[in-house]
Structure 1
Amino acid sequence: MSSIRRFFSAIGEGFVGVWRNKSMSVASIVSICSMLLILGGITFGVFVANNIVEDMKTKVDQIDVILTPEVTSERIAKIKEELQKIENVKEVNYVSKEQALAKMKEQWKENSFLLEGMESALPESFELKVENIENSNAVASSIYNVKDVEKVVYYKDIVDKIAKVSEMVKYVGITLVAVLLMVSFFIMSITIKLTVIARRKEISIKKYIGATNMSITGPFIVEGMLLGIIGAGISFTIIFFIYKYIYKSFAWGVGNIFSNYLLPVDVFGIYVAIAYFAISIGIGVLASIFSSRKYMKV
């Protein structure tokens, strides 16, 4: 019974501690919110960039050969023979206008009805597979010498650039998050410490009459958890609705292609909620223990 009473007493004192130091509590919540929002933005950027890189890697050995609009079917057959003769070309596949339209409809999913009747606007093309990625430049140069080839598209340089940007975002993000974690921990530690100092006489009396460290530290841990939960709740609400807006914006028209690289809104919400509350509560508990431990010695 006494354990239950101490538990609820710790919760009550934790709420009181947050209210007494309102300005520092607000500062702690703001620092946590800032850290989590930046963390969410960076994680989102890295996730999308990595998904794009992985998708592009499946096409890195592919070269798309776009033919001129006026090319005839007889000429298409001869172009295929010429492409097959190019050194380091492993495979040549013809893509008709109808096949190109079918691929686009698959990418656009539920918005594919917008593409009806557009096959006439799409070009005839070939998809080439190269023996080795390093040969892409040489093969592309040879393809340009083939008559009735309008454009050559391949992805090696794009993938390399995206991969570099993804790495840069990741390392900058890790640095920023580490700094913000320390700032959040520092501000919350000060908030808890002010509460501890204000109650140091009460703590000393409790120690002298035999109170355990846990019963004294409990309210401060609750205070840190409360600050973490409030900060996580605010930042989660903000990031969730921003993500939901972005997801819906890209779920229509041309942006539907980009939405393929995003997590569904409900899955995103679950992952972010777990991460945000775990990080915030962890910071709150650690800051509380760190700030109050020196006053446990009488």
Structure 2
Amino acid sequence: MKLLSNFLYSVKQGIKGIFTNKTMSFISIISVSASLIILGIITSIVLNTNQFIKTTKYEINEIRVSIQPNLDGTSIENLKDKLSNIEGIKSVEFKDKETMLNDMKSSWGEDAYLLEGVENPLDDCYIVTLENSKDIKAVSSKISTLDNVKNVEYNEDVIENFVKISNSIRNFGAVLIIFLILICLVIISNTIKAIVYSKKEEIEIIKYVGGSDNFIRMPFIVEGFTIGFIGSTIALFICIYMYEYILENINNAINFMNNNMMIPVSEIAIFLAFVLFITGITIGVLGSIISVKRHLKV
């Protein structure tokens, strides 16, 4: 019963402390929210990069070999035989330029009408599938030396550049997040410190009558917890709203994009909630502990 009474007292005093120092509490909440929003953005980028690579992984195993125009059937078959004999190639499939155009129309969905009446700019080609994507550069180089090969294309460079950009954003974001978290800790610590000083006499009385340090410390920890929780909630709603807005606009702009290339809002929301609340509450509680530890002895 005493434990419950102490807990309720700590909660009441912790929440009361937030309203007692409204300005500092507001600044602390906004600082935590800003840091967590950046964390949420970076987390979303990293998760969607992994999703993009996972979804398009099969395309890295494919090489499109465009062949010279107006080749006779014998030359086309001879090229297929040469391709099949290259080590590391799993399969070779011929596609004429009309089939390639029809595939493009299908992938464009409702926008396929834009291709109607357009002279087919594509070439007949072979779609070469590799046994291992690691061999794509070596195999590509061998294919480019064959007779009657016009062009060799594959998507590895695009994905590599995408990953490099994402890693740069992640590394820069990590440094920025650490910097902002340190600022949050300082601000929260100063908020709690101001409350400690404002309750100097009350704390002295509690200690005089035998109150433990933990009993005195708990309301401040509750306050830090509350600041972190509120900041996390604000950040989560903003991140979800931004993500939903961006996802909707991307789908509208590129409506032929594979629906699995970006993580659905429902899935990203669960992961972000876990990351943001754990981080925000930890920042709030840690800031309180640091401040109370330094300034409890008044």
Does TM, normalized by the shorter one, top 0.5?
yes
The alpha carbon displacement at 1:56 in A equals 4.8
Tell me if the contact between 1:88 and 1:135 (Cα under 8 Å) persists in the aligned partners. Answer: no
Distance in 1 (CA, whole Å) between partners of 2:286 and 2:256 is: 43
Tell me the CA shift for residue 224 of structure 1: 0.7
Tell me which amino acid in the other structure corresponds to 1:157: D
In the alignment, the residues of structure 1 paired with residue 180 and residue 236 of structure 2 have an alpha-carbon distance, to the nearest angstrom, of 17
Which residue pairs with 1:291 in the alignment? 291
Deviation of 1:57 after TM superposition, in Å, equals: 4.5
Query: How has the CA–CA distance of structure 1 residues 100 and 207 changed in structure 2, closer, same or farther, with 3 Å as cutoff?
Result: farther
Matched, 1:281 2:284: no
Q: 1:98 to 1:252 in 2, by over 3 A?
A: farther
Q: Which amino acid aligns with 1:135?
A: A
User: Which of 145, 148, 153 is the matching residue for 1:146?
Assistant: 148
Q: Determine if the alignment matches structure 1 residue 78 to structure 2 residue 75.
A: yes
**Percentage identity across paired residues of the two chains:** 28
Select the residue among 80, 85, 88 that pairs with 2:86: 88
Amino acid at match of 1:141: S
CA separation in 2, counterparts of 1:183 and 1:117? 52
CA RMSD across the alignment: 3.1
> Which amino acid counterpart does residue 146 of structure 1 have in structure 2?
N
- Which residues in structure 2 correspond to 1:30-45 (within 5 Å)? 30-45=30-45
Deviations 1:175-197 (A, max 9, x none): 11111221111111111111111
Counterpart of 1:16 in structure 2 is: 16
Paired residues, number: 288
Q: Which residue of 2 aligns with 1:3?
A: 3
Give the CA deviation at 1:228: 0.9
The alpha carbon displacement at 1:258 in A equals 6.0
For structure 2, list consecutive stretches of 5 or more residues without a partner in the other structure: none
In the TM superposition, residue 36 of structure 1 has moved relative to its aligned partner by 0.8
* Cα 1:117–1:81 shift into 2, 3 Å: farther
Give 2:63's aligned residue.
Answer: 63
The residue type paired with residue 88 of structure 1 is I
Aligned residue for 1:128, secondary structure, equals strand
- Does the CA contact (< 8 Å) of 1:64 and 1:152 recur in 2? yes
Q: 1:133 maps to what in 2?
A: 136
Deviation for aligned residue 1:225 = 1.2
**Equivalences for 1:196-275 in 2 at 5 Å?**
196-252=196-252, 254-257=254-257, 259-275=259-275
Judge conservation of contact 1:21–1:195 (CA < 8 Å) in 2.
Answer: yes
**How many Å apart are 1:220 and its aligned residue?**
0.6
Greater mean alpha carbon deviation, residues 157-166 or residues 26-35: 157-166
Residue-by-residue CA offset, 1:96-130 (whole Å, 9 max, x unaligned): 5557756875x67xxx4654897997744321245
Q: How many angstroms apart in 2 are the aligned matches of 1:95 and 1:158?
A: 23
Distance 1:194 1:137 in 2: 67
* Contact residue 63 and residue 154 of structure 1 kept, 8 A: yes
Q: Please state whether the residue corresponding to 1:231 is helix, strand or coil.
A: helix
Kept in 1, the 8 Å contact 2:51–2:261? The answer is yes
Q: 1:104 to 1:80 in 2, by over 3 A?
A: farther
Aligned-pair CA distance for 1:6:
2.3
| 1:169 paired residue number | 169
Q: Which residue of 2 aligns with 1:49?
A: 49
Whole-Å Cα distance in 1 between the matches of residues 164 and 86 of structure 2? 27
| Cα distance change, pair 20–51 in 1 and its aligned pair in 2 (3 A) | same
